[in-house]
Amino acid sequence: IEELLRRSEKLNTVGQLAAGVAHEIRNPLTTLRGFLQLQQQTRSVNPDHIDLMLSELDRINLIVSEFLILAKPQAIHFQERDVRGILRDVISFLDSQAHLYGVEVKLDFSSEPALVHCEENQLKQVFINLLKNAFEAMPDGGTVTITLKRPEGDHVLITIQDEGHGIPEELMPHLGEPFITNKETGTGLGLMVSQRIIQGHQGTLEIESKSGVGTKISIVLPAARQSDMEASSNDE
Ligand code: ADP
Ligand code: MG
């Protein structure tokens, strides 16, 4: 029964998500159709309308690609990776964006490797989502501080602290639900996707935010150790 319950819960979430995606895509489609119809009637092309149509198409594309990350087949490759390397890759990937926002990214890493079993591309996606949110919260620039520690031997703790405007209090209880956004061109999928990916890695993602002070995201992941492998092969 427990298994059945769990499955129906899962289906329910998938159904809700699908309904949400359909809804979010229908809006820009309606706009697109309207502009096309107008051009058909007037038999003329308005460049402003073309711009609007292109941005609506981009929006559909964005929603679909964020959503696809979740839909990826489950048989993903977990490999042992150093989180420090993954973070450095992501930061250099986002370097020009950081410049654009006038944001400085500071790293505070421990000197020892922080190995985890992970799907590298998924973790990269999480850090990209979180750093983009941090940048977007600091339109006048500031500092994002990323720390990486091993508080207890068997966990890796990653924190991302920004100096942005903070998360509106009324949004806090809804974070992790799809389509929660207060941005004009936001999809409201980034945090939900990130939370799911971290859950899929047996980790946790916590959000603290103070209006006008900033937002801190804390991620805890199980650390991979050589002895893990030995232990699991001895288990049988
Ligand atoms: P999106 O960025 O597309 O709006 P997300 O799921 O990434 O969607 O974030 C959801 C909402 O949470 C954002 O619209 C924003 O209001 C809030 N939020 C998330 N991260 C931050 C942050 N670092 N600072 C301020 N607000 C944030
Ligand atoms: Mg986002």
Quote the ipTM score: 0.99
Whole-angstrom distance, CA of residue 47 vs CA of residue 39: 11
pLDDT digits (tens, 9 = 90+) for 95-143: 999 999 999 999 999 888 899 999 998 899 899 999 999 999 999 999 9
The C-alpha angle with vertex 173 and arms to 21 and 189, in degrees rounded to 5, equals 25
What is the distance in A from the centroid of ligand 1 to the CA of 67?
Answer: 16
Query: How much is the pLDDT for 207?
Result: 97
Instruction: Establish whether residue 129 lines the binding site of ligand 1, counting it when its CB lies within 6 angstroms of any ligand atom.
Output: yes
pLDDT digits (tens, 9 = 90+) for 187-227: 888 999 899 899 999 999 999 999 999 999 999 999 997 55
Atom of ligand 1 at shortest range from CA of 188: 8
Count, in order, helices (H) and strands (E) of the chain: 7, 7
Atom of ligand 1 at shortest range from CA of 191: 6
Enter the tokens of residue 17: 């998500």
Instruction: Establish whether residue 195 lines the binding site of ligand 1, counting it when its CB lies within 6 angstroms of any ligand atom.
Output: no
What is the distance in A from the centroid of ligand 2 to the CA of 198?
Answer: 16
Band of residue 24 on the pLDDT scale cut at 50, 70, 90:
confident
Average pLDDT, the chain: 86
What is the distance in A from the centroid of ligand 2 to the CA of 78?
Answer: 25
- Amino acid sitting at position 102: G
